[in-house]
Amino acid sequence: MTISVIAVEDDRRFRAGLETLFAHAPDFRLAASFGSAEAAFEALRLAHLKGREPDWELALMDLQLPGLGGIEATRRLKRLLPGIAVVVLTVFEEPETVLDAIRGGADGYLLKQTPPAELLAELRAVRAGGAPLTAGVARTVLDLLRAEAGGAPGGRSRAPGRLDLTDREQEVLRCLVQGLAYKQAASRLGISIDTVRAHVRNVYGKLQVHSAAEAVGRAVRERLV
């Protein structure tokens, strides 16, 4: 199955590199590339005027864009196309920036120096239900989230919560926190991918979230795993 991708990137050379990368990846199709978020939203507006819904499945989003920034663009794009996955691809790795992007709806956060083969693998994982974070970014962000979660009166950490999650749902949620795709989670837990998907749907409902990234953020903040 081919994954339809758009790229929102103002650096022409880097954008050209992405175009070349996807041209040689048979399971991806670059539907469009834009030099600004405004250009992407204009293309979306024109498609809607013609009565068409773009088949965009995944967006690569830079953060430092001219005009509308990548985090706000992510929020708007997710509102307009709820089914699209947005992966931030940037040079910024400060934990606060990563958290802002995830809270804005990003489904993953990768650095531009990610090797091409690894980048494609991470994007495949997104479509399979994973929430990729570059390894170094993941460590610092999880540390920050744990610090936020542990801040309680008197300096004592709160006890782990459950929100009525079953033991299996907690195990599946733990796999999401670790960045595993559904197939990897199924292999680790010894269950089918369809069963993993069913547990993830239940987890999303109980946590009142709509993406793996949101689930990961809430799980760590509230010490659910």
Q: How many domains does the chain have?
A: 2
Does one domain contain both 26 and 80?
Answer: yes
Say what the pLDDT of residue 160 is. 45
Does one domain contain both 113 and 195?
Answer: no
Say what the pLDDT of residue 150 is. 56
What CATH number should be reported for the domain holding residue 66? 3.40.50.2300
Does one domain contain both 23 and 122?
Answer: yes
Q: Are the C-beta atoms of 67 and 38 separated by less than 8 Å?
A: yes
Residue 216's SS3 state is helix
Does one domain contain both 122 and 160?
Answer: no
User: Tokens for 103?
Assistant: 């809270």
Evaluate if pTM is beyond 0.75.
Answer: no
Say what the pLDDT of residue 19 is. 96
Say what the pLDDT of residue 4 is. 96
Does one domain contain both 108 and 24?
Answer: yes
Say what the pLDDT of residue 157 is. 44
Q: Are the C-beta atoms of 22 and 47 separated by less than 8 Å?
A: no
Q: Which domain holds residue 85?
A: 3-127
CA distance linking residue 43 with residue 168, whole number of Å: 43
| Alpha-carbon distances, residue 148 vs 156, 159, 214, 222 (angstroms) | 12, 14, 16, 9
Does one domain contain both 12 and 58?
Answer: yes
Say what the pLDDT of residue 147 is. 65
CA distance linking residue 45 with residue 10, whole number of Å: 20
Does one domain contain both 179 and 104?
Answer: no
Residues 160-210 have pLDDT tens digits of 456 788 999 989 988 887 777 788 888 999 999 889 989 988 998 898 887
Report residues of the chain scoring pLDDT below 70: 131, 133-162, 213, 221
Provide the edge-to-edge strand list for the sheet that holds 3-8: 28-34, 3-8, 58-61, 85-90, 108-111
What CATH number should be reported for the domain holding residue 168? 1.10.10.10
Does one domain contain both 164 and 90?
Answer: no
